[in-house]
Amino acid sequence: MSNRPLHIVILAAGKGSRMHSSTPKVLHKVAGKSLLGHVIDSSLKLEPEHIHIVVGHGKEQVVEAFDGHISRAKLNWIEQTEQLGTGHAVSTALPNIQGDANVLMLTADVPLMQANTLASMVDAMQSHSLVLLTAIVDNPSGLGRITRDESNTVTGIVEQKDASAAEQKICEINSGIICAHKEPLTQWLSKVSNDNAQKEYYLTDIVDIAHQSGHPIAAQHPADNAEVMGINSRSQLAHVERLYQHVKAEQLMAAGVTILDPARIDIRGDVEIGVDTTIDINVVIEGPTKIGAGVHIAPNCLILQSEIDDGATIHPNTVIENAKLGRNVNVGPFARLRPGTNLSDSVRIGNFVETKNAKLDVGVKVNHLSYVGDATVGRDTNIGAGVITCNYDGAYKHQTTIGQNVFVGSDSQLVAPVEIEDGATIGAGSTITSKVDKDHLAISRAKQRQISGWQRPKKESK
């Protein structure tokens, strides 16, 4: 890495009219993270002095979106009040950069750029005044072309609308990512004019100016052209999403995770998955999430910001959100674990069970059609079908405490606040409103009657 300080300028002022959205383009998301968020996070891996973000359209929304960013102290927001082109945008940022630093210029709508590619560009600044990231593509239509002379030296960049017929046949394109020393960059930008079809000050014009003044220019290529893919439409957003997911799936499989169909999985944010875990189709996992080894996740599951320990089995159509699951738990199908759920080892949560703010100790079983909320449940307790912890009185939430080795019969209601001590048994169909003592049986139901000769009502014929 160059010994000069590094400043990064991210161009994020564009309106993104082709997105047809009230949301600024740079806040649209790939894998659950905004386009600008991807670029910022890649930039931070280079440990720059500051990241200067040039904003314009939707400035308030964009700045507010990063108020809680972990590295917000490094983010410097600069408003481009008039969108006069990329060259003008960089010029608005340069007064914030002191000394002859390396200036790495990025665009906020290129989210797949890898930090190692950017680091290689900065390294090349030790022997060059200007480094470009370019790519060879099959279809360069709409993109700026790299021009070279007979000795293959880069001489400039020509935009599509200004390119001659011969120049439009060039397949080496400009990615929009450029690194330069600040002092010559300032001089080059002062010479850029808007004498072009768009009447804008193009940042790319500095390449020709640098070449004419004899500065050494380097052009590097990314390892994968997907890195330089920009987003200007919803279609391109969807395409980049699938590219991202393909790469993520390949990384997980290379690390020992079995993914039954890499085209039908979505990983969003920071997700860690252990070896020998198997993930079936149509699973969405959003981080921060940590999944252990030997976990089996069945089709159509949604896992959000949770921890799942080794050996767990998640059956189909289960939703897990802000929950913690111990070893060898068994959940679903059609279960919903809401925020605050904490399952110890070997807990069984069955079909159509919902939990929320519930702590279940080792070996607890809640098998069918029950709701356990704002509750603590002791080890080896069995909760039958249709049991409800009635935790809400219309104004406040209340706690239910259930001890160890308790049996709660089906279709019972536990009206909180209430405590059931160790070893107690609740008869099916009971409504429990007060404490149940240790090893006692509690039954609360109407006495059964039989009426002989009962005639069921019948509809009268018309």
Closest to 442 in 3D by CA, of 418, 462, 460, 458: 418
Q: How many CB atoms lie within 10 A of CB 108?
A: 28
Could you tell me the two tokens for 67? 């108020």
Amino acid in position 403 = G
327 with 344: CB under 8 angstroms? Answer: no
Residues 57, 221, 368, 398: which is the catalytic one? 368
Does residue 368 carry a catalytic annotation?
yes
Output the CA–CA distances (angstroms, integers) from residue 133 to 39, 88, 217, 274, in the order listed. 15, 20, 11, 35
Amino acid in position 24 = P
Could you tell me the two tokens for 79? 């408003």
Could you tell me the two tokens for 250? 């390949």
Residue 370 DSSP SS3: coil
Output the CA–CA distances (angstroms, integers) from residue 446 to 77, 429, 430, 452, in the order listed. 69, 9, 9, 19
DSSP string, 5-58: -EEEEEEE----GGG--SS-GGGSEETTEEHHHHHHHHHHTT--SEEEEEEBTB
Could you tell me the two tokens for 161? 């609308």
Q: Which residues are catalytic?
A: 368
